[in-house]
């Protein structure tokens, strides 16, 4: 009987000392939606969290430009992640010849004059990569500009898109959010 009590007490103590590992959902790894110029960017790519990191030799982990060139406005927002094995992935949003303003919803189409577009880039090796792009038909998305501050050069918003590569493989980008300073 004494042995049974000792075994039972040991089991209770051991189970009490085991900590439950809390699983972090991918969406909880993304930065919060803000509109302060926090220089944040994140999204889910096929359900996995994507945030810029590394990529110092590739133009930086986060790039945002809004420029007036040849009588038209161009917007580029790219988040880059360079892994420890130096392979690069990136998520990009672009407009060609379109002005941006607060509360602006743009349908991401194919990359062409007068269109907004989105893409996902993934390096497979030093010489091989996959490029996924919105195409304006079955692979589209949305860019919602929630704040555009031309004085402080801040742009904030959300995005999502479906993109396809040349082999017909699809990538889903969801829950995208950004709050960045842009350069002119």
CA distances from 131 to 7, 145, 152, 171, 172 (A): 59, 25, 33, 10, 13
pLDDT digits 0-9 by tens, 68-99: 999 999 999 999 998 777 789 999 999 999 99
Percentage of the chain modeled with pLDDT above 70: 86
Average pLDDT over residues 24-49: 96
Non-local (6+) Cβ contacts of 43 within 8 A are 30, 50, 79, 91, 159, 160, 173, 174, 175, 176, 177
Residues 134-169 as b or e (16 or more Cβ within 10 Å = b): bbeeebbbbbebbbbeeeeebbbbbbbbbbbbeeee
CB of 161 closer than 8 Å to CB of 134: yes
pLDDT digits 0-9 by tens, 12-26: 545 555 556 678 899
In the numeric block, which tokens belong to residue 60?
């930086």
In the numeric block, which tokens belong to residue 89?
């992935």
Q: Is the pLDDT of residue 131 over 60?
A: yes
Q: Is the pLDDT of residue 56 over 70?
A: no
pLDDT band at 124 (very low <50, low <70, confident <90, very high): confident
pLDDT score recorded for residue 58? 59
pLDDT band at 125 (very low <50, low <70, confident <90, very high): confident
> What are the E-state strand segments in 18-112?
40-45, 48-50, 62-69, 72-82, 88-96, 104-108
| Mean pLDDT of the residues in the chain | 89
Q: Determine the distance from the C-alpha atom of residue 176 to the mean position of all C-alpha atoms in its chain, rounded to a whole number.
A: 5
Environment class of 32 (CB within 10 Å of its CB; exposed 0-12, middle 13-18, buried 19+): exposed
Q: Is the pLDDT of residue 110 over 90?
A: yes
Domain boundaries, the chain: 24-181
Q: Is the pLDDT of residue 114 over 60?
A: yes
Environment class of 73 (CB within 10 Å of its CB; exposed 0-12, middle 13-18, buried 19+): middle
pLDDT score recorded for residue 5? 47
pLDDT band at 6 (very low <50, low <70, confident <90, very high): very low
């Amino acid at each position: 009987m004494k042995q049974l009590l000792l075994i039972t007490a040991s089991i209770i103590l051991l189970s009490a000392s085991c900590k439950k590992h809390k699983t972090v959902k991918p969406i909880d790894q993304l930065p919060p939606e803000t509109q302060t110029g926090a220089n944040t960017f994140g999204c889910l790519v096929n359900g996995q969290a994507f945030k810029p990191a590394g990529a110092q030799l590739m133009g930086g982990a986060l790039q945002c430009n809004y420029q007036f060139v040849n009588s038209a406005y161009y917007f580029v927002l790219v988040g880059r992640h360079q892994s420890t094995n130096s392979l690069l992935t990136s998520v990009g949003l672009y407009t060609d010849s379109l002005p941006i303003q607060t509360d602006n919803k743009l349908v991401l189409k194919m990359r062409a004059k007068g269109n907004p577009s989105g893409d996902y880039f993934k390096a497979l090796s030093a010489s091989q990569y996959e490029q996924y792009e919105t195409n304006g038909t079955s692979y589209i998305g949305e860019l919602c500009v929630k704040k555009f501050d031309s004085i402080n050069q801040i742009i904030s918003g959300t995005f999502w898109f479906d993109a396809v590569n040349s082999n017909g493989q699809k990538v889903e980008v969801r829950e995208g959010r950004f709050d960045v300073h842009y350069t002119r």
